[in-house]
Structure 1
Amino acid sequence: MSQLNADQLLNFTQFALDHMTESALWIAADGHLVYVNESACARLDYARDELLSMCIWEIEPDLGVAQWAVRWEELKRKGRLTFESRHRNKSGSLIPVEIEIDYVTHGDLAYACGIARDISERKRIASALRQSEERFRSIFASAAIGMALLDVDGMRVQLVNPALERFIGMSGEELKRRGVENVTHPDDWLKDANLWDELCAGQRDSYTIDMRYVRGDGETAWGRLTLSSACNDAGVVTGVIAMVEDVTERRRAAEELAKARDAAEAANRAKSEFLANMSHELRTPLNAVLGFSELMAQDTNLTDEQKENLTLINRSGEHLLGLINDVLDLAKIEAGRITLQADDFDLMMLVEELAQLFHLRAAAKGLALDVTVDPNVPEFVHADEGKLRQMLINLLGNAVKFTDKGKVNLTVTGMAPAGTRRRWRLRFVVRDTGAGIARDDLSAIFEPFIQAARGKAAREGTGLGLPISRNFARLMGGDLTVASAGIAGEGSEFTLEIPVDPVDGMNGEIVEMRQLVRLAPDQPHFRLLVVEDDDASRKLLADLLARLGFDVRTAGNGREAIERWLEWQPHLIWMDMRMPVLDGRAATRHIKSTRKGQATVVVAVSAGVIGAEREAVLADGCDDFVAKPFREQDIVECLARHLNARFVAADATAGVAAHEFSS
């Protein structure tokens, strides 16, 4: 029989949690309930949604906000707490409970994972024991929980009930003969020695602890042991009442959950590592394809056919890059690594650029593209421009792709802030006159790798654009929704809403980039070192820099890079991260560990864009990070930023006054 995989283990464990008799409650640091099982809902007489909107002190009346903060800190310190309390159900009735909570972390998140057991029966039993010996013996014999009477002197067993005999797997007489010491697991025998001494001395009334016991058949069983003192009229402890609950299955479920969690985390790490490696392996050759096609396109001697072929190469490379980026974005979303990069930007310019881009695509299919912007919408806003651009490109791209005749509309409106609020809520509506989306597909299209019938018919894309866009929208505090009747000609309508903060203007001047061909005159003699093990990528970057007018040398690994740096002292090093002999990170650390090296600019050039690689290389001393595949403009902007280099624009070569670009 094959072993269960991580997902199956998680599913089985989830099923066990939801069907266990004890109440399971998971609590966040701020006191909010984040998970409850079916037993908790039934015991407290609340629906699950009601409980998940409540804080722990709303069902635990003996606990306030301040007391919760104290309990949370104690839990963080100790890792596990066991105590008794009371829960209040929906009707107001109080239920005594025994609670065991564990401090559990997952990434940056921490939770108190608690199991609450109704101890009303145990309380009732304890009360009955104190009131009447005769009634005690009756209850003792019939109790469903294992019980025993122990002598204070030496913990000798005086009386055992049938439930305990069943749990320990031997008769009461055999248990008396062997003694508690010989049925307790050797590693647990002295675990509660101090608590036992305090109980017998009258310093505490009871305590609860989990212990392992060796059954009559040699198997190990977990028992939750509760010991309570029995006192005479003078208050002297004369005996101890032991209650043992079988928690073996609960312990096994917890261990299986931990194993499943570890397996899932290991699988996730393996997936992230695989994606990181695949990203590097795909982006490195793609860098050469896009880079050399860009360089070749600048050759003025090309024929029209050659230009068209280069355009097709570049377009295909861009399409492949888009597919790679979609998969990587989805991986980042699943790993919770997507973050917002908010900044001030010109919203009107963004809309205009998209309109120009998609007017050409629409015209190629004989479609009309109408773009309407409410004049009251703020021109300059503060938000994540990159993610907004990607979402609108996905929506407009789909609309043009799946519309064969008619038109595509983009309407931009906004809800102005009320009162003293400054935040606007922008609404982008993309309508088309295509085939529409069947009602059954409306929810499925937001699932990764799922396409509606029209997408399958087109046989294009990965089915990731809409799921990524909705995740981006929700990350920004908005949402992406769809409406369609699924009727040809009536098309579909996607509505994207996001909150933005209006700003009075841009902090810096918006500069229109031109094609840059060489360094401006009167520049220092810049020495640049290109360190790259991939021959094509090394030649591409070296050729690009040489054409711009820089003095360029190359190295094939980190060790060669250190040698070139020592003998040549370049102003800036383009450092690939993954290389044989000595990788880029180690070479950077060596260079930056010296006074001369601290004056040398090191820019990481890497195809690895998954996970924390960017942060790691910056921590190693790199001054900047450029992702493969890069564009000439990326390289030029980086040089201007770090060397204050100035460049002559293309129109200067035609006898027109030179335009310069600098940092």
Structure 2
Amino acid sequence: MQEFLMRTLQGRRIVVRATGVRVEADGGPANLSIFSDDTERHSAEEAVRRSEALLSHLVATSPDLIALTEMSTGRFMMINDAFTRVLGYTRDEAIGRTSAELGTWNDMTDRRRLVDAIEADGRVSNLPVVFVAKGGARVSMLMSAARFSMGGRDYLVINSRDVTESERTRLVHEAILRNASIGIGLTRGRRFLLANPRFEQMFGWDAGELLGKSGRVVWPSDEAYSNADGVVGPPLARGEQIEIEMMMARRDGSTFLCRILAKAVDPAHPSQGGTIWIAEDVTERRQIEQALAKARDEAEAASRAKSAFLANTSHEIRTPLNGLLGLARMARQPEVDDTHRRRYLEQISDSAETLSGIISDILDLSKIEAGKLSIEAVAFRLPELLRALHHAYGTLAEARGLALRLECTPGLPEIVRGDPLRVRQILSNYLTNALKFTARGEVRLTARCAGGDVVRFEVHDTGTGIDEATQQRLFKPFTQADDSTTRRYGGTGLGLSICHELATLMQGSVGVQSTPGCGSLFWTELPLPAASAEQLGETASLDEQSALQGARVLMVEDNPVNMMIGVALLEQWGVHVEQASDGEEAVAAVEAALRHRRPFDVVLMDVQMPVMSGHEATRRLRENPQTRALPIIALTAAALVSERDQALAVGMSDFLTKPIDARRLQSTLLRALTARRADAVNS
């Protein structure tokens, strides 16, 4: 039997199978040939051969590992080139051996999962496993396998894809998500499919709890969720990226300001791939930015206030200074009669007091800002201080056509402990302002207990009143209700700021209540605990000038005007005064007085002088046993606490500042003389 390729009458090519036999015919022996059309079978076999060749080619060239194993034994029957390339085993090494014998499983539980799946379903898809290559390298794979029968035997065809690089990439992405400092989430169908730890922490959820939850859970309310959907939904549906800041909600219901970036995973099909959300809590950042902006605005306002302060202060200083100079020139004119001269001298005194007050305010503020202003704690009579204020300001009120009333409620302690100078300074400032800004009516000073050791002082007026915005800045430095150059009232704008700082230093507080057109109430609450008469330690009355009569005082001063003022004041009190113009002369004068057995009772010592300073002169005198206890009182224009500390450190007994305050000088001299006489009696 043979096959022939033949052509039909129609021209179609066919494959025929021919057989022939010899037969006897009438005409003699003949050949009988039988032809059958075998084209269909031949085509089928050719198709099988082509399929086998194609399959063989696909298996050989596939990048996936393909192997055929016998089900009963697990032995490899076939492996492709990729198997050899990835795992390193040749066909001779692998064929006829099992995976266990080759040691290709990194974890035998993976093999168990494969077997269980095949036994249950006859197939498995994308089973993640790790193989061990011949050289020991670990290879991450996704394995698919199916069971089939052939020739009465069962086989397993295995296809494994090398996903090592993909696995590395996945691990990198997981590490990035896990350690990212910003929150990252993925939603699809409005539910969370992924949330990294930072996202969970930011919104107050435990690990994994957000997965499957509706996106609504991170919004403060249904309304907020709906509004957000209206804002971010349309651009996300168009595949656009959005960036927005909105209030979000934690699991406990608290809210925070969140910066959100969002974009569809697949912008071409936004609804299918889901949406990536990047969230960052910017609450603290925005608070810091707001604080910085506020600080910047306050700094700029302070700068403007200081500029206005400089302009105002220049005006306030030059005005009394001009008065001092002009009035002094006028008073020196020989043709001026005594009446006008006295008036000029009174006005000179007023201008000097005004100038002294301005300079004192500036110095006080400088000391406060430098942290160098100290507060005393001494016993004093509170009602007496209030009566003195009422008396001092009553005349000014009367001159302005105003009534000044003092009201002290029952229970106010007679003797308290505190700083009387600073209490007086605060109330004086309040009274000065009240009288300045009140055109008609009255000013009332009240004092009452506010609970515990706290005393509340109030100054009421019927003046112009102050609006709310101005009240907020009144107690800040360099601030006035009207800081324009054409303002009606004078002042530097330091007084109320100093009041605030002084009250703070005394552990107290200040404030204001006012309505425009209805007057104002300025108050301060200060801790002034009650004290006893023994703690008061009162010396002789300032009116008892006889205690100073005959006292010998050395006045050491290099400025002739200051010397003249000091000597005149002391001589009014009956003090015998001698003079020295520098420290060297002072030491010589003290030593000469000792030699003549007429020692000085007190030395009033300027600090900054030519030839020898007051500090050096004091050190020299303290080295002499005869003058070691001599009272030496510093009398200086330097008002800083550091100057006082330095004066006391070199041995000075007390410290007074210029301009000379007659009351303080007198009380200081009385105190020094009393102590010296007591020492003389005891010795």
The TM-score normalised by the length of structure 2 is: 0.47
Larger Rg: 2
- Higher RCO (CA < 8 A, seq sep 6+): 1
